[in-house]
A and B are shown apart, each in its own frame.
Chain A
Amino acid sequence: MATARRRSPGLRKAFPYLLLAPAMLYLLAITLYPGLFAIYQSLFVVKFVNWTWTGLGNYRLILQDREFWAALGNTAIIGGISLALQTLIALTLAYFAYRDPLIRGWRIVFLMPMLFMPSAVAFIWKLAFNDGRVISDLLMGLGLVEGNVDWIGSIWLARLTLIVADVWQWTPFLFIIFVAGLQGQDQEIEEAARLDGASWPKIFWNISLPMLRPIMVVAVTLRGIDITTMFTNVFVMTQGAPGGATETMSYFIYRQGFRAFNFGYASAASVLMLILTIVIAQTVVKRAFRSGKS
């Protein structure tokens, strides 16, 4: 062993950091730099190439801006209702489907809405609700309404269209995860409960569902995070109408930045949204992923 390498403890210790370095640098470049830039830019009023210092002026304006708070509220309302709905539906479907012999078929069919590009889905429902009036037609046929429904005309109708589009497309996401979670549960426990005389709904409610909880938390958290970034549907279907009732945070930032060209203002909004994201990540996500994985 005369030619054996004496390992240097330094290199040994540094190795994992070296492995991580390229990825970390890349991520930092894409988060740190833009983050700092956004903070910087938010301190200015930007009109084309003119940057005028305004300190915390943008922030003062934003926090008084009715539209900002509306966007925040819309995101919460539309996102919250949507998330609750798709969780409920996915859970129900999973309950019925996970033991069914046809589960493979169900899975493929239920998965399909998720496989369309989000922009495509937005157009599907834009056509169905607004431009093509199919939904109105069906409702008329059922005798529920008379005449055409103006889906963008009323606040809650417009929100409804967004909710429908999101639920239709993303329920499968929760569905497959729930099914996977349920299928992974120990069948013997369920059989023991059956022998003890419990009915299927009782078994599900008292045994399967509690066991599914950690998985549910992870899945719903992930989907919840994504919902708060809702943009595409708003862009295609409503553009925030009527009167900003369907404008989400992402659309607000987009509009301020790329329609009104108030870049400083948009940056301030971005910074605020970033702070919100960090807070949510630290509290909710950390806990969700702690419980969801080892």
Chain B
Amino acid sequence: MGISIQNIQKTFGDFVAVDNVSFDVQKGELVALLGPSGCGKSTILRIVAGLEQPDKGSVFLNGRNVNSFSAQERKVGFVFQHYALFKHMTAEQNIGFALKIQKKSRKEIANRVAQLIDLVKLHGYEKHYPSQLSGGQRQRVALARTLAAEPQILLLDEPFGALDLKVRESLAGWLREMHDKLNVTSIFVTHDQNEAMEISDKIIVINRGAVEQIGSAREVYEHPQNKFVASFIGNINVIDAVLKNNSIVVKGTTYALGSRRISENLANDIVLLVRPEDIVLTQEGDDSASLPSTIKAIRYKGGFIEIDLLVNGVSVTAFDFTKNEWEINQEVFIKFKAFKVFETVDGHKAIRQQLEHLGYIE
């Protein structure tokens, strides 16, 4: 068992930063802690590292309860969002720091540092000071410095948050490669869902200090368990609707559900979540499942067209891959290829996992 945190609680004054959070990370996994700003994910990470003490709960590293261990004793690698490089030391000296603390010989330190410089591809920058390096280079030094200590566990706090988009993307991929090579159990915190989905084995979605869902990228995207996860991950249209006689009614228009049944004991007010890519536009309505709508805006995105539509007074956005020519104010018909239905009351209960490739029948 790599990392296990159980019932962690942390309050700052009146503010509950972490609310009874538990999760496990298997040995060798690369896990993303994903959530909006201020949701407590960094606090959770710092608690795992020993930089913060939880009010309640325990942290287990490789099976051992480390609650009483200081950050210095836990031997956990930590990469900070703003690198926290030692400004008065060169890249080499930064990287060799942990080894110096361990009182390794100069030769050994030099060898290991050279290895790491190689790993992070910073040849020629060994004697540079942080102020002489770019953001991406500094982050690589920070990572090398952490890896020098050969930690069993690696924690990264928004490691790419302070970097440009392109640099961020390349470093994220590079992190995944690094992880696969070294096979060290890792957690990284991010608010960027693309990053999380691209490189992690598992995503833990956090909101307001609590765990919303844990799953692979595919699972959280295609099978969100509640409204928050559905709307946080990827783009989604949120449509209020009402359940009536096994039909869904959106602003007066009814969709019959046919043989598939929605569980009987549900509140009537529901919410419909549809991904833009699951909305299909057609010139002609071909069945009662097609909804008449008007195009309000068109944005060309290269690989697809983003279209805003007004359907019975409800605004939705669709991604169109048909390469047709559309016009503003054009009257078209839309169909939902798939959607999720949740109870409205804080959208927390999924009514059915999915109504995939169904939507409506008749």
Are A and B associated in one complex? no
